[in-house]
Every structure is written in C-alpha cells, then in structure tokens.
Amino acid sequence: MASNTLHIAGRVAKQIIRDRRTLGMIIVVPLVVMTLIGLSFPDQGVLDYIAPAMLATLALFFSFLLTGISFLRERSQGTMERLMVSPVVRMNIVIGYLLGFFIFALTQTLIIVLFTIYVLGINFYGDLWQILVFQVIVITGAVTLGIFTSTFARNEFQMVQFIPLIIIPQIFLCGVIWPVEQMPDYLQWLSVVLPLTYAVDGLRDIMLYGANLYDVWLELVILAGFAVLTSVLASLTLRKGA
C-alpha cells in the first residue's frame, strides 16, 4: 500500500511539473502579491505587524487553490476513475495526492517566507525554522481542504467559486484586517471555528513575540486536527469523475 501511495505522489508531481500554468501560480503569482503588499505598507513597523498574518493567509489560499484545481483536473482526465477501481484504499489515494501536492505547496511557502524576510526585509523575533515548521502544518490543512472541496466541483470555475465561500470569510474574521477582539460577539464565536484564525495567531506569536512551537501548541494541535479531519472527509467523499 505504501508503494501505491508513493506512486500516486510521484505521478502527481510529474503532472504538475508539466503544467506551466501551475508552475507559474506556484512561483510567480505569490512573489507578485508579496511585492505589492510590501509596496503598499512603506512604514516598516506596519509591514512587520501585517507580515505574519499575510504569510499564513497566502499559505492557506495558494495551497488550497493549487490543490483544488490540480485535483479536479485529475478527476476530469479519468485518473481518479482508474484509481477507484484498483485495490488501493481510498485513504491511501488521499495521502498519495496529499504528498504530491504538498511538495509544491511547501516550495511555494518557502519562496513566500524567504522572499518576505530577505527581500522585503521584515523584522521577526522567532527562529526561522520554527516559522517554517508552523507553516508546514498550515499548508497540510490547506492541501487536504483543497482535496476535500474539489470533490464537489465539476469544473475549474466551480472550484474558484468556493474561494468566496471558504477562504474570504476566514480572511475577514481571523484578524488579518482588524482584531478579532473588536468584532461583535457572534463574529468572535464564528472566528473560533476557522483554521486561519489559529494560523494567524500562532504565526504572530512566533514572529512578533519570539514564541516557540511549545508556546503555540494549542494552535498546532487545532491545525493538525483540522488536517486530519479534512483528510478523512476527503476519503469519504472521493468520487471518480468531475
């Protein structure tokens, strides 16, 4: 079963490498977005404060979009139908795709983090490796969320339509734009169930206040639990065609 999982991951990786549009979305688009963000906040103090929230948000957004569209193409090309009739367990299929997509989501995140730190020159107090480890947990949940969500889409346009339903509300309610504490009580309660809230809080604690991974253990546990939950849901809702 492990060999089947690795075979799926390898085939997914090769497919993404052949797709120039996908590679452009992985490398070029995030750099353009972060450059625009850097130019929009000329005050270094403001940029330092907004950077952790933007890193968490972009990691979730781009990993979700990359995975959802790529997984949808796999289904529309009939690949999923061939896997579903094989003896491979559904969860192994999900894990195989998770590993394949994860490689590129991780590459994308590394590019964004290193570009933000060394090109935009933001100041941070936590260890770089702890920032990267935390981001790994964030993108794992984003990838599994993309796989799960794409099972309900029939084409790329429908997949993009999930962004206003799933991603945009999290951006407004997780503290990226304004503090959660200043929102009405019912919105604060809603923000508690959104994974991006914990991604933003944890990354801010590490980058702005020098916290370590042990200090943000609650955020890590919740984000890891979210990744496991969406993986299970993806395996249960997996279907053959688009």
pTM: predicted TM-score of the whole model, two decimal places: 0.88
Residues 63-79: tens digit of each pLDDT: 898 888 878 877 777 66
Residues 149-188: tens digit of each pLDDT: 988 888 778 888 888 888 888 988 888 878 888 888 888 8
**3-class DSSP state for residue 108?**
helix
| Comparison of pLDDT for 193 and 15, the residue scoring more | 193
- Model pLDDT, residue 132: 92
Q: In Å, what is the CA distance from 236 to each residue of 67, 93, 102, 229, 230?
A: 18, 11, 20, 11, 10
Which residues have C-beta within 8 Å of that of residue 38, sequence separation ≥ 6?
Answer: 47, 116, 119, 120
Which residues have C-beta within 8 Å of that of residue 55, sequence separation ≥ 6?
Answer: 112, 113, 116, 131, 135, 203
Angstrom distance (rounded) from CA 177 to CA 174: 8
| Comparison of pLDDT for 80 and 138, the residue scoring more | 138
Angstrom distance (rounded) from CA 147 to CA 153: 10
2-18 and 44-76 are packed helices; what angle lies between their axes, rounded to 10 degrees? Answer: 110
Quote the Cα angle for 99-103-104, to 5°.
125
Angstrom distance (rounded) from CA 96 to CA 230: 15
Residues 120-144: tens digit of each pLDDT: 888 889 899 999 999 999 999 999 9
Question: pLDDT at residue 1 above 60?
Answer: no
- Model pLDDT, residue 108: 84
Instruction: Give the chain's mean pLDDT.
Output: 84
Give percent of the chain above pLDDT 70: 87
- What dihedral do alpha carbons 205, 190, 223, 95 form, nearest 10°? -150
Question: pLDDT at residue 240 above 60?
Answer: no
- Model pLDDT, residue 136: 92
- Model pLDDT, residue 139: 93
- Model pLDDT, residue 95: 83
- Model pLDDT, residue 239: 62
DSSP 214: T
Give percent of the chain above pLDDT 90: 25
Cβ atoms of residues 192 and 216 within 8 Å: no
Question: pLDDT at residue 58 above 60?
Answer: yes
